[in-house]
Amino acid sequence: MASGFFAILDDIGALMDDVAVSAKVAAKKTAGILGDDLAVNAEKSTGFLSSRELPVLWAITKGSLINKLIIVPIALLLNVFFPVAIKVILVLGGIYLAFEGVEKVVEYLFHRTAGPDEAAEEVIEETENAEKTKVRSAITTDFILSIEIVIIALGSVLEESVTLQVVTVSIIALLATIGVYGIVAVIVRMDDAGYRLIKRSNGKGAIASLGKLLVSSLPIVIKVLSVVGTIALILVSGGIFVHNIEFMHHLLPGVPSIIKEFGAGLVVGLASVALVIATKKIIKLFKRKA
């Protein structure tokens, strides 16, 4: 009986070793998309009142965890029973990401009406409904990016046992949420940490200088993340199209992959934005006639 117990422990130890190796491989393969995920979600988690930043971030984090709880079992089941559906879901998600990224560019280029001061006032006067809308948007984007992360992680362990697949993908999904939103929380609270350092040092010395640097750096970091997040949306979507649509995969073989992926995301994004704008105008026209 004792030998049986130790045999079980030995099996568990061997499984943990296999999980550690497979999780390391999966983490390396998902590192790029995790970086894009960080940039996108950091940009989406900013622009709120200081007192609302952490509650909003917590709401998005909970939504992200729920996303993973939905995506992981469905991805594992589809991989066994209907693998082609994964590719279809990825492409549809890519269209959404391309639309969101290009829409931000179009909004910036053609629909800017408020200056920096007015924009700040809009943030201060932001309603509860607007906050909920932003949270929903962030959770939806997280859902699409989470699908990509889970699929890439799953693809790295397809040759392994089902148990190893389940454990590895679950670990990567959990790390993606905790890691990404943990870093986002640090970013959005930079200014508060800076103010505390200034207050504790009475505004003097190296600690106060560090505090002032944190406070002054936050707006720059947010602007950079906004740009990087938008580029990431277009790149990630383009990567989905290039790697999952045969025609796009073999198109322009001499062009560097990053340029091809950005171009694919940009073209699909422009087409989807144009389609949405045209649809809205048609609906308005029908409403007027009615």
Q: Print pLDDT tens along the chain (290 aa).
A: 445 544 444 444 544 555 565 655 555 555 556 666 666 666 666 666 666 777 888 888 888 889 888 988 888 888 888 888 878 887 888 888 888 889 888 888 886 655 444 444 444 444 567 777 878 888 888 887 788 788 877 776 766 677 777 888 888 888 878 877 888 777 777 777 888 888 888 777 788 888 888 888 877 877 787 787 788 888 888 888 888 888 887 787 778 888 998 999 999 999 999 999 899 888 888 878 76
The continuous run of DSSP H or E covering 127 comes out as: none
d(C-alpha 265, C-alpha 278), whole Å:
20
Count of beta carbons in the 10 Å neighbourhood of residue 84: 8
d(C-alpha 52, C-alpha 112), whole Å:
25
Residue among 271, 255, 287, 217 at smallest CA distance from 98: 271
**For the whole model, what pTM was predicted?**
0.67
User: How far is the CA of 65 from the CAs of 28, 31, 159, 170, 255, in angstroms?
Assistant: 21, 19, 27, 11, 38
d(C-alpha 257, C-alpha 141), whole Å:
23
CA 26 to chain centre: 17
d(C-alpha 28, C-alpha 281), whole Å:
45
Single-letter amino acid, residue 67: N
Backbone φ and ψ of 49, nearest 5°: -60, 145
Backbone φ and ψ of 45, nearest 5°: -95, 5
